[in-house]
Chain A
Amino acid sequence: MSVVKGLQSEIFVPITPPVVWTPVTKPLSEMTVALATAAGVHLKSDKRFNFAGDTSFRVITGDIPSDELMVSHGGYDNGDVNKDINCMFPIDRMRELADEGIIKALAPVNFGFMGGGGDVRYFTEETGPEIAKQLVEHNVDAVLLTAG
């Protein structure tokens, strides 16, 4: 059998990067948990996301009532989320779970951004690390993401 060194497919195939893994070190009931979503959630008073691609993010503080939130995202059907923001950003459910002692608290800072395209490099190198930095600064123990 002949072997050709360096032979490579001309077709681009997706590459799955190695999983990044931070171990959990405390029980869920002692965790302050943040929400982060690529579903385009933000305050009604915030600037809307640019549907053509937007690498910015919006901070949603832990005390914001859910009826002050909305979505701007051009990449999925907004019908359900317009009826009830909790179906993509379960902020009221998180508060209920905190009241029941399942988690310690909803985080003081939560994040909305618009996934589904745009400048992936900028997201990876700038937006993601900046959100992560703010989560660390606010001593967040874990993050629940939606829009996967």
Chain B
Amino acid sequence: MQRAIEEAGIPTVIIAALPPVVRQSGSPRVSAPLVPMGANAGEPNNVDMQKAITKETLQLLETIETPGRIVSLPYEYIAVV
């Protein structure tokens, strides 16, 4: 999906819970907070964490200059199962 959108001329960035999988698919810009598969943007109802992850991921559009970069974000949420 990310590839198709980039091919259409729109830059993209993805939040990845599984960075190695995203790397395998050739994503151009990736943020990697420490999150589970079910909560990429952070803990449910934690507005501050979600906003920080969303904002800092969007800012990678401006700062990543190398295709395929994966940038770790300093946020962690471990789901209670």
Q: Which residues of A contact B (CB under 8 A)?
A: 14, 16-24, 27-28, 31, 33, 36, 38-39, 76-81, 83-84, 86-90, 93-94, 96-97, 102-103, 113, 115, 123-124, 127-129, 131-133, 135-136, 140-148
Contacts and interface: CB of A to CB of B under 8 A. Distances in A.
A77 B9 contact: no
Contact of B8 (A21, A86, A136, A146): A136
B14 A148 contact: yes
Contacts of A148: 14-19, 21-22, 27, 30, 40
A18 B26 contact: yes
A28 to B, nearest CB: 5
Given A24-B62, A88-B41, A145-B14, 14 more contacts: A16-B26, A77-B81, A79-B81, A80-B36, A80-B43, A80-B44, A87-B40, A88-B39, A93-B51, A131-B1, A132-B4, A143-B2, A145-B2, A146-B15
* Interface range, B side: 35 or more
A87 B39 contact: yes
B22 to A, nearest CB: 4
Nearest to A113: B1
A102 B62 CA distance: 12
Interface of B: 1-19, 21-28, 30, 36-45, 47, 50-51, 53-55, 57-59, 61-62, 67-68, 79, 81
A79 B79 contact: yes
